[in-house]
């Protein structure tokens, strides 16, 4: 039997492609106890040139940055990880997929400081549709504002994509689902809008686009960076700007960006309709360009796609 059907049948585990069901860890693995891992979330899209990874180098770079922040000794080079991602997609025969590289502290010692533990590297893939629901991309999503805050800058390093930090995201997301929202926007320690539990946030007011600054306790999203470039290409340069909760309510348009969420319009916040209460025109324009590039229909002027080969 090959695992759950949505997962690719092979897992890249410390340099070898092995069957999904053999890719297991020991119960004493440090990461299981303390969240000591760094990871990435990447998408490959079906394009006329075959499956192509979106922003492959940028994601591998961020994985290395997260490892540097968290003092995890990477066991493979940049090029080896890059190649391994392509090999895993090819081995699993996907047209399109989500890719999860994960580097974690394994067994060796149980103390909190885990640097004596082994470092394990895995990559697996799964077929994943739109993250916030099938209608989300067209209709937009209803979101709340979480009662949980993002980490203050001197508590956790928000720029690192580090496993344990996602406990914060889980609280925000559980609360959202329990209250009937697709997602929650989380405020930073000063009470300003930071980001979703797994997405960056954009606001449009009188034709000007804003997004949370990198110093707003956010993950430096790769989709965020591309969308800022797309918006500039379309003649809407984006300003990084601190955003208050009430500004969200009176904005003309809001949307999320993320590898999983792609470009998802937000149609209400705290049950207050945003703009016309549906996807706005600038969001639609950016979304269209984003999917044209990712699916290879439009010209990839910034070299964001890497065919798996």
For binding to ligand PMP (CB under 6 A), which residues are involved?
A: 41, 169, 195, 198-200, 218-219, 221-224, 257-259
- What is the per-residue DSSP string for 123-171? EEEE----TT-TTHHHH-EEEEEEEEEPPPTTTS-TTS-BGGGHHHHHH
Tell me, yes or no, if 161 is annotated catalytic.
Answer: yes
Of 10 and 184, CB closest to ligand PMP? 184
Least distance to ligand PMP from the beta carbon of 212, Å? Answer: 10
Q: Which of 16, 86, 116, 161 is catalytic?
A: 161
Cβ of residue 49: shortest distance to ligand PMP, in angstroms? 23
Q: Of 72 and 222, which has the nearer Cβ to ligand PMP?
A: 222
Report the b/e string of 169-204 with b at 16+ CB within 10 A: bebbbebbeeeebbbbbbbbeeebbbbbbbbbbbbb
Asked if residues 217 and 152 have their Cβ atoms less than 8 Å apart, the reply is: yes
In the structure encoding, which two tokens stand for residue 199, read together? 């997405």
In this complex, which beta carbon is closest to ligand PMP, that of residue 167 or of residue 250? 167
Q: How far is the CB of 308 from ligand PMP (least distance, A)?
A: 19
Of 31 and 261, nearer to ligand PMP (C-beta) is 261
**Nearest residue (CB) to ligand PMP, 97 versus 117:** 97
The 3-state DSSP class for residue 253 equals: strand
- The size of the chain, in residues, is 309
Count of CB atoms situated within 10 Å of the CB of 109:
14
- How many Å apart are CA 225 and CA 51, to the nearest integer? 22
101 vs 114, beta carbon nearer ligand PMP: 101
Name the burial class of residue 252, with classes exposed (0-12), middle (13-18) and buried (19+) by CB atoms within 10 angstroms of its CB: middle
Least Å from the CB of residue 18 to ligand PMP: 26
Paired tokens of 106 = 């394994």
In eight-state DSSP terms, residue 117 is S
b (16+ CB within 10 A) / e for 35-72: ebbbbbbbbbbebeeebbbbbbebbbebbbebbeebeb
* Closest distance to ligand PMP from the beta carbon of 223 (Å): 3
The two tokens of residue 192 are 């300003």
The maximal CA–CA distance of the chain, rounded, in angstroms, is 56
Q: Show which residues are catalytic.
A: 161
């Amino acid at each position: 039997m090959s695992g759950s059907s949505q997962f690719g049948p092979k897992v890249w585990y410390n340099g070898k492609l092995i069957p999904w069901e053999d890719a297991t860890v020991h119960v004493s693995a440090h990461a299981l106890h303390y969240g000591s891992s760094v990871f990435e979330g990447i998408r490959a899209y079906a394009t006329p040139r075959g499956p192509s990874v979106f922003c492959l180098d940028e994601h591998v770079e961020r994985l290395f940055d997260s490892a540097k922040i968290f003092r995890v000794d990477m066991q493979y080079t940049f090029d080896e990880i890059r190649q391994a991602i392509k090999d895993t997609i090819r081995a699993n025969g996907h047209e399109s997929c989500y890719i999860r590289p994960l580097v974690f502290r394994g067994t060796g010692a149980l103390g909190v400081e885990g640097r004596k533990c082994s470092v394990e590297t895995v990559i697996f893939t799964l077929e994943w549709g739109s993250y916030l629901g099938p209608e989300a991309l067209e209709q937009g999503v209803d979101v709340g504002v979480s009662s949980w805050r993002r980490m203050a800058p001197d508590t956790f390093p928000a720029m690192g994509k580090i496993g344990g930090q996602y406990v914060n995201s889980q609280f925000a997301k559980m609360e959202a689902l329990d209250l009937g929202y697709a997602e929650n926007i989380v405020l930073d320690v000063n009470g300003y809008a930071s980001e979703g539990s797994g997405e960056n946030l954009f606001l449009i007011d009188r034709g000007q686009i804003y997004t949370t600054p990198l110093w707003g306790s956010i993950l430096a999203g790769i989709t965020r960076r591309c969308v800022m470039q797309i918006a500039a290409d379309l003649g809407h340069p984006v300003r990084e700007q601190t955003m208050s909760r009430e500004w969200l309510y009176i904005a003309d348009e809001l949307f999320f960006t993320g590898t999983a969420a792609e470009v998802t319009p937000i149609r209400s916040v705290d049950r207050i309709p945003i703009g016309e209460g549906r996807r706005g025109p600038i969001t639609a324009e950016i979304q269209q360009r984003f999917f044209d590039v990712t699916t290879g229909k439009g010209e990839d002027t910034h070299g964001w796609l890497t065919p798996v080969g």
